[in-house]
Structures are given as C-alpha cells and as structure tokens.
Structure 1
Amino acid sequence: MKILVCIGTRPEAIKMAPICYELHKKNIPYKLCVTAQHRELLDQVIDFFQLKVDYDLDLMRKNQNLNFLSSKILFQMDAILDSEIFDLVIVHGDTTTSSMVALAAFHRQIKVMHIEAGLRTYNKHAPFPEEINRQLTGRLSDYHMAPTFSASKNLLEEGVKEKDILITGNSVIDALKFTRNKLAKGYSNPSIENLKNLLDLNSDIILVTGHRRENIGQGYINVCNAILELSKNDLQIVFPVHYNPNVRQVVFDKLKGIANIHLIEPLDYPSFVWLMKKAKVIISDSGGIQEEAPTFNIPVLVTREVTERLEGVLSGHSFLVGTNTSKIIDKTLELLSSTKFDTKVNPYGSGKAAELIVNFIKDYFK
C-alpha cells in the first residue's frame, strides 16, 4: 500500500498533520506533497508539526488567478503520479488543491479519499470558490471522511454509498489538542512573547480575522466600521491582517493608528491558538475558527451570509451576522456583557478523527 497525502494551504496542513502522525504511528508508508498555493502560512505549519515534505510544487505566485493555479496543479500533479505508483491519494476540504489533485488522481484511476467531506451551503457563490471545490472533490472521491452527522447526511442524499462514508469528527480538534498540550507544557516562540508584551491580558480582547473573497470590498468596509465603533469601549481588538492586498488596503485605511486596535501580521499556528484562548469574542469569516473556538468555549460572530458549518450555529457557539455593521456591534456588545459564555461540548469532534481515518485505511487495504 502506497499513499500520497496532498496539501496546499495552512488550514489543510493543520488538519492533515494529525493524519500524517497517525499513518507514521501505524507504520503505513506515505509521501507528502505540498502544492504551496499558500507559501508563508503553509511553511509555518509544516515547521511546527515537523512534517517531512517529499514533493513541493512551490506554486504560489503573486496575484495568480484561479484558472492559472488550477492548470499548474493539474499539470504538475500528473508528473508526480507518473513517477510513482500510488494506491490512494488523500486530499482535504475545499481548496483548489483538493479539487485539482482529486481530478488528477481520477484521470489516473487512483482511489481518492476526501477528508472533511460533505460540508455544503448549496450556494455556489458562497463560499467562493470553496463550495464548488467541495462538491467537485466529493464527486471524484471514493471514500468520504465526514466530520459530522449532517455532512454525512448531505453525502447520502447526493447518492454516496453508506459503506464509503465514515463520520470521524474534524481533525482540526486533534491538531488543536496537540497544540494546547504543547502550550501547557511551556512552549513559546518570539511571536507569543511579542503578544504578551503587546496586550493587557486583564482587559476584554476581541480577536478579528478576515480573508473571504466574497467579503472583499463593501463587506470588509462594513466590518471595519463595526470594529471602529467597538473600539470606543474599554477593550482591546487584535486583528492579524491577511496577506491579500485587497483585504490589507481596506483594513489599514480604516483602522490604522487607533490605540486599542492592534493590526498585526498573520500569526503562526501556535501563536494564533495562544491568542484565541485569550479572546472573549471572535469576529471572523474563517471556517476553521468556527470549528476550533468551541473547544475553548469562545463565541464566534461569523461574518458570512451562509455557513457550511451549521452545527456551531445550532449549538449556540457561532452566530451568523454577515457583514452587517449594526448586527456585528450589537451581538459583540451583548456577548461582552455576558458574565459567562458556557455551551455544550464541541460539535465538531473530540480529537479522535485521525485515529478513525487511519483505522479505516488500514482495515480497507488489509
């Protein structure tokens, strides 16, 4: 049995690292390929989890469009699949990497396993292009590792056979617990130490992130207007600003120079987990944060009109506010005034996803 694990972005690397660990633990040989459609952010995670990269396509280029990126992934993956014989290709989630690698494997008639399968909004423009990437990857895949019951239900309704679906929980919880344990044992780095010096940890902290394409333009203007209004209160706002120039220009134009708004560079993964634990409220359009924050019982205001992660909304961990300035302000102030935000267990899993996935692989190929 020979396995190829493929990742392209920071979130993929975070969520695939526990699976790589588990494959190694169970002595199942695999090769790791990174397309590096995100370069700097991806490399940080690779280094933190000490993953060994066998193939690095190094495809990140400034301002490249999706068609150009897709064609490069498809072309270069074909060369890798031509150089070695693989029994299984594992991809993750909703990126251009996942859909194009799955397509390349399908063309070679190699089995495909989709991690974090079955999430849907059924709105092809939100999230864009991730919703269609997920659906395309799902159609190309042979085995579907669904993080939740509702994701499994989506797949069944789309005609996937029950025997090819496994409900695993989300492997981001595995990664989060690994990182939390390292932090508890004293792990630190220069970025964490800088945050300790920057922030007054005795005050309320709001953590803000944003990177979704569909919010570029008026959406981020509205979010920044909400942050400006919230900054008039006695609190601190920390905003690691995404590298996308269309995000950075709006954020720095609107929020630069305000004493209690800290605009910082994107954080490495352990530093972000450290900061997330300190926050009282998170405002974000990130899917991963919707999955991670419930572990620490931190509420998330989701600055999207729809989410493929409804479990968090239904359990009371997340709140869909879109990019409506008034909704963001009102809900944030409501949550800040609460003496305690206490909800049930994380609906996205208990941290056993990697073990379940690798056991499935082991049993199938046995």
Structure 2
Amino acid sequence: MSLPEVHLVAGSPAEAVRLAPVALAMREQGRLTPIPVATGHAPDAVGLTLAAFGLTPKITLPAGADDTETMRRFDELWAVRTPAAVVVRDGLAPALAAFWRRVPIMTIDAGRRSGELGSVSALESQRRMLAQITTVHLAATPLAAMNLLDERVIAGDTLLTGGTAQDAAQLLAAKTIVAPARERRTIVLGLPAERAEAIAPALRYLAGRYPDLEVVRAADTAPGLDFATLLTQAYAVVTDEEDLVEEALAAYCPVLMIGMESQHAEALHAGSARLVQPDPAAITSEVASLLETRVRRDSMALSGNPYGDGLAAYRVAQATAALLGHGQFPDPMPAKPVAGVAR
C-alpha cells in the first residue's frame, strides 16, 4: 500500500531551507511520501538549496507571469497528480490551487505579521489571505499564534511547532567541515544594493580602524551549505531581510536589524537581535560597538534563538500525518524561559 503523497512547495531558496527538514522528517517517520516541488521564478536556485540537504525536487514547475497563471499551472498538475496534502510557507497561488481542489493546506511559519496591511508590499495581505484557506496553521512562536487568534482563526486549527530554520541550521551544521578559527571578523550584510552602497564609506572607515574586519554581502554567497557555513563563522549580521534574521539566529549569530521591529519582537526581547536606525551613522556605531567588546557580541549570541528548538520539522511532519489519519497530533513546542527569570 502506497503512502499518502504530500507536496512541499518551495518558491524561493528561503522556503526551500525551511521545507527541506520537513521532507526529511516525513521520510524518517515513514508515514508519508514527501514530494519537494521547486517553483517560483528561479526554480533552479530552489533545487540547488534542496540539494544541500540531499534532496532533489521531484517536480519542477516554474511560476507564471502572474498569480493567475501560477494557479493554473498548479491546478493542471494536481488534476492528474492530486496530493493528499500540500505544505507551503508564503505560496498563496499554489495554496489557492490546492484549496479549489479541496486538498488540505499546511502552512509553516503561520501567523507572521508586520502590521503593514495596505503598504507597498503585498506580502502582508497575501499572508492574511493564506490564513483564510489554510487547514492547519503551524506557528513558529506564541506571538504568531496569537496573531492568528486575533484574526479569528479557530484555536484548534493552530499548532505551535517552532520554526524549521533551526532544524535546517542543525542539519547543515552536521555537513559542514570544521574550519580553523577565522583570523578576521566577518560582518555579513543582508541589504539591498543601494543601502549597502550608502553605508560603504562608513564601513571602509571601520575597516581602517579594525584591521581584522571583513565585510561580506549575503547576496554574493550561494544559498545552502556555503551560506550556512558563512553564518556559522560570522561575527554579526546586519540586515533588513526578514528571512535572514531567522537564519542568522538559528546559527547563533547576533543580528543588527534595520527596521522589522514588529516582525521580530521575540528576538529583540530575547536580546539576540538589536534594532538599528536606517542611516549609515547608526549602523556604523552599532557595528563598532560589537567590534569594540567581544563580550557584547557574545552575550547576544548566547541569548539563543526564540524561533525554534530543532524539533519543528518533526512536529510539522507528525501533524501532517495526523491530519491524514496516521497517528496523533504532536504536543506543541514548550514555552521557552523568559530572559531574566530564574530557572
């Protein structure tokens, strides 16, 4: 008897990083057949990221010119190869195609909100729309779960699993060749080109002040194992990218966040990330502060990752199997101790 087929749809390298551990957990548990699906406008990059985990996309389906075309392509796929369930992160178009086919939808990292509904970015609206058609909401943090409850999502349809970026970091760390300690301190910039160029003069000044300083742009490193190794060895990350914050914290690398206060309140509360104003002087000052005293940097690193405990993928896989009638739903991720509270 064949096992139920579950399609895990990744539309970007960041989504591939988070879905790969789920596919591996499903394979290990032996209750489902995980089918990684590479989509988006650069499915080859998704495939390369999955390869870092020893996975190969079973289906490659490039996104269309718009969401309507993407939905049509997934509808045609699932008309002839209908999965028992679909797992997505931010993929609204494939989720809608699954919804119309009455295929259950599992959404990981559910409940992430920026409070910017109606802003230039459509991501907030897409996430709220995705919540309306999701079958089981797999939230990374208690705050994300509360966001869903505030939007009147039924409590029983939400499970606190943690984020799978931590699981991915642990899997990639096991594949990383232990390298000798770096003689230089690497600051990783996850910034758009124009913002990186704006602070370039300030960083050159810091390089003159701290001869062991090395600045690397995240965009110049291949996703997957190479990037995971970079984060593991980095001194700190400076970014305005939501996904990079979680990936850096999963590698126990401190983060200076430009904006994103509402998206990453948990990291700010834990102390593993700091909020920085979006101007060169403020960014330079914060980087210099970490370079000046190692203790400041290490205290942030030791604050840990509030977004996962390394067991999220196991919970997601078990929850998907339980939805399909194979076993019981897992217990939610235990609450983490609050900083400053005696243990």
Q: TM-score, normalised by structure 2?
A: 0.84
The change in CA–CA distance for 1:157 and 1:326 in structure 2 (over 3 A counts) is: same
In the alignment, is the contact (CA less than 8 A) between 2:185 and 2:213 conserved in 1?
yes
Match of 1:262 in 2: none
Match of 2:255 in 1: 300
SS at match of 2:52: helix
Match of 2:231 in 1: 276
Match of 2:336 in 1: none
Match of 2:22 in 1: 19
Q: Kindly state the Cα deviation for residue 356 of structure 1 after the two structures are TM-superposed.
A: 0.8
| Residue 172 (1) aligns with residue 131 (2) | no
Match of 2:240 in 1: 285
Matches within 5 A, 1:178-217: 178-183=171-176, 186=177, 201-211=182-192, 217=194
CA RMSD of aligned residues (A): 2.4
Matches within 5 A, 1:321-336: 321-336=276-291
Matches within 5 A, 1:245-260: none
Structure 1 CA distance for aligned equivalents of residues 74 and 270 of structure 2: 40
Match of 1:260 in 2: none
Letter aligned with residue 222 of structure 2: L
Picking from 44, 49, 62, the partner of 1:45 is 49
Q: Deviations over 1:317-345 (max 9, x none)?
A: 11222421111011111111123222333
In the alignment, is the contact (CA less than 8 A) between 1:172 and 1:288 conserved in 2?
no
Q: Percent identity?
A: 22
Q: Deviations over 1:200-240 (max 9, x none)?
A: 921322111224xxxx75x4443434434433322333323
Match of 1:4 in 2: 7
In the alignment, is the contact (CA less than 8 A) between 1:223 and 1:323 conserved in 2?
no
Picking from 49, 55, 59, the partner of 2:59 is 55
Which ranges in structure 2 are unaligned for 5 or more consecutive residues? 326-343
| Residue 363 (1) aligns with residue 318 (2) | no
Match of 1:237 in 2: 214
Letter aligned with residue 320 of structure 2: I
Q: Kindly state the Cα deviation for residue 129 of structure 1 after the two structures are TM-superposed.
A: 3.3
The number of equivalent residue pairs is 316
Q: TM-score, normalised by structure 1?
A: 0.79
In the alignment, is the contact (CA less than 8 A) between 2:39 and 2:46 conserved in 1?
no
Matches within 5 A, 1:113-192: 113-124=106-117, 128-183=121-176, 186=177
Match of 1:32 in 2: 36
In the alignment, is the contact (CA less than 8 A) between 1:35 and 1:73 conserved in 2?
no
Which ranges in structure 1 are unaligned for 5 or more consecutive residues? 61-67, 189-195, 243-264
Letter aligned with residue 318 of structure 2: N
Q: Kindly state the Cα deviation for residue 267 of structure 1 after the two structures are TM-superposed.
A: 2.1
Match of 2:340 in 1: none
Structure 2 CA distance for aligned equivalents of residues 222 and 172 of structure 1: 30
Letter aligned with residue 113 of structure 2: R
Letter aligned with residue 142 of structure 1: T
The change in CA–CA distance for 1:69 and 1:161 in structure 2 (over 3 A counts) is: same
The change in CA–CA distance for 1:175 and 1:142 in structure 2 (over 3 A counts) is: same
